[in-house]
C-alpha cells in the first residue's frame, strides 16, 4: 500500500484559506476513493472517482468540498474556505478496478489537515 502517494503529509491552513490535497494512485490503478477520519473516529467515505469522472460523491459535504481526477496527474481533494471542523486526516485509496468486484483498496499515508 506504500504505492499510493499522498501529499502533503501535514497541512496547516488558516480559517478561510483553501486546502488542496493530492493523491497519486498505485501504478495501474484507475479508481480513487477519498475518506475522512475525524479525531478519534473511524474513516468515513467521501467520494469515488475514476479518471475524469466522479462516480459517487454521496459522502462529501455539499459546500466547499470538491474532488477531481484528471486524465493526467493526481487526484485532488479541494476544500475552500476551510473551517476548524475540517481538521481531520484525509486518506486516499486506489484500486485497479471497481471495488464492486471487491478488490483490496490500498490506502496512502494520509494528509493531516489542521485549521488554525
Partner 1 sequence: AQKVTQAQTEISVVEKEDVTLDCVYETRDTTYYLFWYKQPPSGELVFLIRRNSFDEQNEISGRYSWNFQKSTSSFNFTITASQVVDSAVYFCALSEEGDYKLSFGAGTTVTVRA
Question: What is the contact surface with partner 1 in residues (CB under 8 A)?
Answer: 1, 31, 33, 35, 40-45, 48, 55-56, 59, 89, 91, 95, 98-100, 102, 104-110, 112
3-class DSSP state for residue 116?
Answer: coil
Beta-carbon count within 10 A of 42 CB: 7
Nearer to partner 1, 3 or 73 (CB): 3
Q: How far is the CB of 81 from partner 1 (least distance, A)?
A: 26
Q: How far is the CB of 100 from partner 1 (least distance, A)?
A: 5
Nearer to partner 1, 82 or 88 (CB): 88
Q: How far is the CB of 74 from partner 1 (least distance, A)?
A: 18
Q: Which three cell numbers stand for residue 73?
A: 496527474
Nearer to partner 1, 79 or 89 (CB): 89
Query: Burial, 33: exposed, middle or buried (Cβ in 10 Å; 0-12, 13-18, 19+)?
Result: buried
Q: How far is the CB of 22 from partner 1 (least distance, A)?
A: 16
Rg over CA atoms, the chain:
13
Nearer to partner 1, 32 or 79 (CB): 32
Element spanning 108, H or E: none
Q: Alpha-carbon distance 26 to 68, whole Å?
A: 17
Amino acid at each position: 500500500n506504500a504505492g499510493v502517494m499522498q501529499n502533503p503529509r501535514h497541512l496547516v491552513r488558516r480559517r478561510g484559506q483553501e486546502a488542496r490535497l493530492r493523491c497519486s494512485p498505485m501504478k495501474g490503478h484507475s479508481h480513487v476513493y477519498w475518506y475522512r477520519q475525524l479525531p478519534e473516529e473511524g474513516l468515513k467515505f467521501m467520494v469515488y472517482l475514476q479518471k475524469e469522472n466522479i462516480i459517487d460523491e454521496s459522502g462529501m459535504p455539499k459546500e466547499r468540498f470538491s474532488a477531481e481526477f484528471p486524465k493526467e496527474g493526481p487526484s485532488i481533494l479541494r476544500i475552500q474556505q476551510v473551517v476548524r471542523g475540517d481538521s481531520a486526516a484525509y486518506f486516499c485509496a486506489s484500486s485497479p478496478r471497481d471495488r464492486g468486484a471487491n478488490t483490496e483498496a490500498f490506502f496512502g499515508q494520509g494528509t493531516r489537515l489542521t485549521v488554525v
